[in-house]
Chain A
Amino acid sequence: MVDIIYPLSFLAAASALLALVMLFAKDALTCAMALLGVLLSTAGIYGMIGAHFVATIQLVVYAGAIMVLFVFSIMLLNLKKLGDRFPITSPRFLIGAVSGLAIVGAGTWGILQWIPQSYGTWDNQAMLAAGGNTRILAHSLFTQHAIAFEAVSVALIVALVGAVTLAKRKFE
């Protein structure tokens, strides 16, 4: 297997950099496009480690649909420059920052604890032998995790109906 650590670290650096741009840019559209860049480079990382299906779904759903919605709302509300109204020393921001860092730290710690035991039965050879990762994923989604899958789709429909009801009341 060709060494993929260089492209991976490039993509990781790109996504970290774009995440910083997203946080600190003053122009709302630039923030949104930086977020799009983060999503694209994450999709690239997924693709490099062989999770093609997750990578493409990331592109279709996040980059192709959700970000379009973001950009649309920014354009239609005409959010131009956000300016310096953001109080960086306010207690609210500090509490948010500390708890955010705590969550990220806990997550990282948890992943690091879990990684050494995480190499399951699927390596690249086993994946190819079973017909590619899309097939494996589809199989496990519709057999092993069928109930969870259906529950998630019901939850999404409930959310959709709720959103339409809320929006409709406002218009009437």
Chain B
Amino acid sequence: MDPVIFTTLAVVAKMLLLLAVTLGVVPVMVWFERRGAGWFQGRPGPNRVGPFGLLQPLADVIKFFFKEDWTPGNADKFWYWMAPLIALVAPLAAISVIPFGSHLVIGDSVVQMQLADVDAGVIFILAFAGLEVYPVILAGWASNNKYSVLGALRGSAQVVSYEISMGLALLSMLLFYGTFNMNEMVTWQTGTLWGFLPAWGCFFNPFAALVFWVSIFAETNRLPFDLPEGESEIVAGYHLEYGAFKFAAFFMAEYVAMIMAAALMITVFFGGYGFLPGMQTILEIATQQFGLGAAGIQNVTALLQFTSLASKVAFVMFVFVWVRWTLPRFRFDQLMDLGWKWLFPLSLVNLVFTAWLTWYMGQ
């Protein structure tokens, strides 16, 4: 096949895969969120639509479709419509630089399992995470509603504040890895530590991992930090005036942002697509059973790597739900105190310590 056509096809296939996975996880997560709520609170949860309530998200989608698509009278129409779109685009763009496997071998050509191998991948993601402030501000402002503006101000203040500690936590890991490239980070994390622990970033710098994990809860507006929503104080925050499918777009954007943040955390702190314990054995058994050649081994490896990343992300998503139904919501001043008076100085100290440690180890 013509190499240009092949490359184009491969890129389109990867785009479709990423879209299908990230958007396809949303209904599953919506279902799990509600079933999980039931499970944690000792009640059944949605169990009438389909087996185990599995078709409940479908019912939700139908409801969203048939609701009246309403625009408030004094809203700034253009930005009111743009805000949900930007909300979806930013995390989807960020997810394009996350490597979800090493590479596939198809015929004579090699397909990198990553949409865009950007040299400064980590900063690229941070950049697009930074763009997630815009839909919040725009939605609140364009709705022309006091409660929406209040929600938008709270939301953007929160996202901007926690971005700092998130960035500092990432920076300390960059000192360890000595690279911005996410593939090189994953390669760095293969192998074992003291013979039994996988050599993941979180074991070298557990504090940064913790700070990062806390920060992504705030970045993605999840409980215990879902103050931008704040339905008990300010009705519903920045998306108060949104209904029907525009609200659903915000809702989807939140889950896509969660997947993106989880994948980033896995790649930087938890070994990325590196094998989980036991996967090497599966690979060896498969090689013996089917008599695989070099290309076959590489392809099975890539599939296992994808499975590894997917299962780690699934675990982080489970923790998102777990925390949501376990911890109560913070007050706004508590949230700001945690961000500025605790996480920020502590991650700064951690960064300086890591810099010293890297220098000392390099001696």
Contact = CB atoms under 8 A, between A and B. Distances in A.
Do the two chains bind?
Answer: yes
Contact of B7 (A2, A43, A55, A56): A2
Interface string B108-132: 0000000000111001101110110
Given A75-B141, A134-B119, A56 B124 contact: yes
A68 interface: yes
A59 B7 CA distance: 27
Interface string B170-185: 0000000001110000
A65 interface: yes
A52 B76 contact: no
B156 A59 contact: no
Given A59-B127, A63-B131, A52 B137 contact: no
A31 to B, nearest CB: 12
Given A2-B4, A64-B131, A52 B124 contact: yes
A53 B160 contact: no
A72 interface: yes
Given A59-B128, A134-B120, A72 B156 contact: yes
Given A2-B7, A132-B119, A60 B79 contact: no
A6 to B, nearest CB: 13
Q: Provide the main secondary structure of the chain B interface.
A: helix
A30 interface: yes
B194 interface: no
Interface in A111-138: 132-135
A112 B18 CA distance: 42
B78 interface: yes
A135 B134 CA distance: 31
A56 B313 CA distance: 25
Contacts of A56: 118, 120, 123-124, 126-127
A33 interface: yes
A65 B130 contact: yes
Interface in A1-45: 2, 27, 29-30, 33, 36, 43
A57 interface: yes
B119 A71 contact: no
B130 to A, nearest CB: 3
Contacts of B79: 29-30, 33
Contacts of B130: 59-60, 63-65, 68
Contacts of A59: 123-124, 127-128, 130-131
A29 B120 contact: no
Given A2-B7, A63-B130, A75-B137, A57 B123 contact: yes
Interface string A51-85: 01101110110011100100110010000000000
Nearest to A59: B127
Nearest to B142: A29
A72 B138 CA distance: 10
Contacts of B126: 56, 60, 64
Contacts of A63: 127, 130-131
A26 to B, nearest CB: 12
Contact of A29 (B119, B128, B131, B141): B141
Contacts of B149: 75
Contacts of A64: 126-127, 130-131, 133
Given A68-B160, A133-B119, 20 more contacts: A27-B76, A29-B138, A29-B141, A33-B138, A52-B119, A52-B120, A55-B120, A56-B124, A57-B123, A59-B123, A59-B124, A59-B130, A60-B126, A60-B127, A64-B126, A64-B133, A71-B138, A75-B141, A132-B180, A134-B180
5 contacts: A52-B118, A52-B119, A56-B126, A132-B119, A134-B180
